[in-house]
Amino acid sequence: MTYIELINNFWNVRRIRPMTSYEADFYFYLLKECNSRNWTNPFELPSRNIEYELCISRKTICDLRNKLQQKGLISFKEGNKRANGAVYTVLYVSVGNINGNVSGNINGNINGNVSGNPIYKTKNKTKNNNSNELFPPDPPPPKLPGKTKPDFIPPTLEDIIAYFEGKLPDWEQQAETFYNHFTSLGWRTASGAKVERWDSRANLWIIEKKQSNGSAKQANDVIDADIIIRSTTG
């Protein structure tokens, strides 16, 4: 059995019985060691050598070689810790063996070394995502509660008088007229809309009265001027 044939044999087995990258790394390390011994098979290999070169623990070594033995790629015999190292045999897997016990080996291998070895533990936390997207969309921002307008509280006559004070010549009369006008309408406008700010309505009322008073004064000045002109020319 040549080096190339064993490599091709590995890929044939891996196609049927998927394995982790750590198993593959360990297997090719054993091939390298067997080749360095001029393909003496089986061969002795102390576990401390593997620990040093692959930087893995003895527990991980036991786990990996058990997996490779289950897939038929190697066999091994545990050595004596004080005297001899473990003895490994590189095997060639026939087509019949490759296809045998596929489901059991696949299930065992998928949940195998990575989850069992403390060195190679990984955390795979996934959330249920029913969409076809790789990452679920961000949740929509929470809706802010709508602002509620405070209930309108009609002003008293005293409030109106205090607001009108000094702003018109007849401010007391206009304040009372304004109050009676909107009270009779239920504090609604002529179009039926609710009055939300009575002070704005009062200010508009004052401006209109000032304008009308100014127009009346201007008209009176014109009349007075006309009378004076007629008296001087007559």
DSSP bridge pairs for 77: 87
Mean pLDDT of the chain: 78
- Whole-angstrom distance, CA of residue 6 vs CA of residue 24: 13
Sheet strands (E) in 78-118? 86-90
Classify 77 as helix, strand or coil: strand
**CA distances to 15, 158, 193, 198 from 153, in Å:** 82, 14, 15, 9
Strand order in the sheet with 86-90: 43-45, 86-90, 74-77
Kindly state the tokens that stand for 118.
């403390």
pTM, entire model: 0.41
**Nearest-CA neighbor of 98 among 2, 17, 26?**
17
Read off the pLDDT of residues 15-64 as tens digits, 9 standing for 90 and up.
Answer: 888 889 989 999 999 989 988 888 888 988 888 888 888 899 989 989 99
- Is pLDDT larger for residue 165 or for residue 105? 165
- Domains in the chain (CATH in brackets) are 3-116 (1.10.10), 157-233 (no CATH)
